[in-house]
Amino acid sequence: MFESDAERGQTLAKNTFYKLKKMLDNSYKWKWISLIFTISTTAFLVISVSVWVVKDRQIKAAKLPSCALDSDRQLSRSKRQASQNDVFAAITSEEIDEVLEYLYADMVLNLTKPDEAAIDSSFIHTIELQPPRKQNVLDYLSGLSKQPERMAKVLIFRGDVTPPVLQEYIVGPLSNISEARVMNTSARKTTIPYNFRPFSSFEFKAIYKHIITYIARRAGHVLRESYNATPLDCGRQCLRFSMTPISSAFLSKGERKSWFWFAYDIEFYTLHPLDFQYRVNMTSANPKEWTIENVWYANQMFSSLDEFLTAYTCGNINKTVMSFPSAEENKYSSLHFREPFFPEAVLRPPIQVEPDGTRINIADNEIHYLAWDLKYRMSPTVGLQLFDVKFDGERILYEISLQEVVVTYSGFSPSARMLNYADSAGLFGTRCRGLLPSVDCPANARFLNTHLYSANEGGHRTYENAMCVFEHTTNTPIRRHRAYGRIGAFYGGLVSSVLVVRTILSVINYDYIYDFYFYQTGAVEVKISLTGYLGTTFHIPEENPYGVHIKEGINAGIHNHLFHMKVDLDVKGTENRFETLDLKVENKTDPWVDGGHHVQTYYERNVKKTELEAICNYNFSAPKYFLVSSHNETSAQGLPRSFRLLPRGMSNMLVNPNYGFSSSIPWARQQVAVTQHKDEEETSTSIFAMWDASDPVVDFAKYIEDDENIVGEGYSGMGHPWNSTYTAD
């Protein structure tokens, strides 16, 4: 069949129409596809960027963990709730705010906030929890009474009153404050002379403004000519100062003086001392009245800065001439890697892992590990404290804490011979921060933050990674035995794993790694390891008997580190006694050999009845075991239930205990001391010990000299280098 021309024309027109329609339809389809693709691409980019940002934050957070398991979950809970539920918990941020609001409203105190404070104003230095009475706490924990009220202890600098003083206030009860009173106790002073004040950032600001600036203006040419550096406007060749407080035992009543010296401000400055020293009278609360009294330069003493400058200008003295250390010369005191690298092969060291996850549980201020349960608190003054330490459900320690770290130096120059530091003046709690995974603690450790109030740190501050908790395998069997025999043989052993609670105190040049070890046997060990940098003085021949000449111009002085611990030990309750097993030698007739005799050791049990009897100055010729025993509980064999005290690393203080700075640290006279527990005898020292030797704020000697009964009592034990004291309830 054939189409006509008209039909063919119609068919062609239809086909053309459908082709055009299809083209148009496809065009719209591609436009929609393009639009959908654009929207999808944009969404994908937004999601990708979001994921990248989140991952970046996660990566940054992973670099400095802060106990991301238990602790972070607890952060969502109210800090106030945690404190209300636990009598040992540190004062919270909210409670600190309540204390501040209450005290700032007191017009009589005339308090200045940290951002405006000065050494001659009144300001709050520290705020922390005031521990409740122990018996009240024990009654509460036993369900016999309600929870003791929480109170705050506040140290206030009152530099704007006449005469200026330091005062410790008790403020509370927290959450409903109704009073703020000066602490009242016969065990220590609570209104303290202003010349005993601990270090503060405001005093250092005043030193820079009124002393360093004055020295730079008057003696800047001497510093440039002698050391090729100055303390101000110095570019890359700067000097920095260090300070040696002079104990009040060497001063007239009410005076406050310090020796200052310069060092090159490079890594690390304590290894670059110089021989320009000057003594400053800082007695007045008004820093404008501070004066420079003496100058020591090139092994010569001058009675004033003017006398020194005159002698220097006239050329009547020996002059020191030194060059600012080059980068190469500074390598010995820096942390830069040396070459060739050691070890040359880049092989990672062994690491410890938890194959089945952690066995540690941390909630609020509680730590649980196997049979151990304990609670912790960080104090701005004392640092880390552990409370209510239980093994297998039974309390064995009410408290264990560091009390003081003292460093005593010897030397020839005026600043070196006065260099005695009681480090608690720097506030231990604020010196614990920034622990790094895989270096300071194992990578799998649990890192915990703390929140403290100190005017030195601007008031409120959270200290990240202030402590860490981890399980550690000692790689020594806690017990093992391999038996051999004809009939049979066997082997039995158990790996020793311990819980470690660690913090690190960084005080000027020293770092103290401070560990509590909790063993599966029920034993507790406290270990302090030292690292950091040496403290040095400028070397002159006269320094030789007092140290070692380690580098040209640098002398490392002989010094002694003393650590003091408080241990409140409860053995089967609080009715305890302190006793020693005295090892002796007997020479007796041998009953089994006719006419023979035998020499051997034996022990005598010696119960100490009073505090003076319990003093232990260790004598290696008369060894003994130290025991804190239950006064009532015995074993099936009739022996008293006991914990052995094992002091290690002991040293003896050779300097007369009544001379100079020694009067501030009477706890250093014995390796072990035992005192009857008293709530008022809260600490064995104070943050004023650097200056207070003429009249100690806390005099530990008085804790012992009253010679109270310690039989059937609870014990607070203190110990020194190693040195510990145990308290009797």
**What residues act catalytically?**
423, 510
Query: Which residue spans within 357-489 are E strands per DSSP?
Result: 360-363, 366-369, 372-379, 383-391, 394-409, 420-422, 446-454, 459-483
CB 157 within 8 A of CB 168: no
Number of residues assigned to the chain: 729
Read out DSSP for 2-26?
Answer: ---HHHHHHHHHHHHHHHHHHHHHH
Q: Which long-range contacts (CB under 8 A, 24 or more apart) does 255-258 make?
A: 255/195, 255/281, 255/283, 256/194, 256/195, 256/197, 256/281, 256/282, 256/283, 256/691, 257/281, 257/282, 257/283, 257/293, 258/282
| Nearest residue to 320 via CA among 352, 389, 273 | 273
Q: Which two tokens stand for residue 368?
A: 């649980």
Residue type, 282: M
Cis peptide, bond prior to residue 355, ω within 30 of zero: no
The span from the CA of 233 to the CA of 689, in Å, is 36
CB 561 within 8 A of CB 405: yes
Report angle CA 130, 136, 142 to the nearest 5 degrees: 130
What is residue 115's DSSP assignment?
A: T
Q: Chain-centre distance of CA 359, in angstroms?
A: 26
First and final CA of the chain: distance in angstroms?
125
Q: C-alpha dihedral over 685, 690, 694, 700, to 10 degrees? A: 10
The residue with tokens 């010729």 is 621
The span from the CA of 715 to the CA of 718, in Å, is 10
Pairing of β 640-645 and β 624-634? antiparallel
The span from the CA of 190 to the CA of 447, in Å, is 35
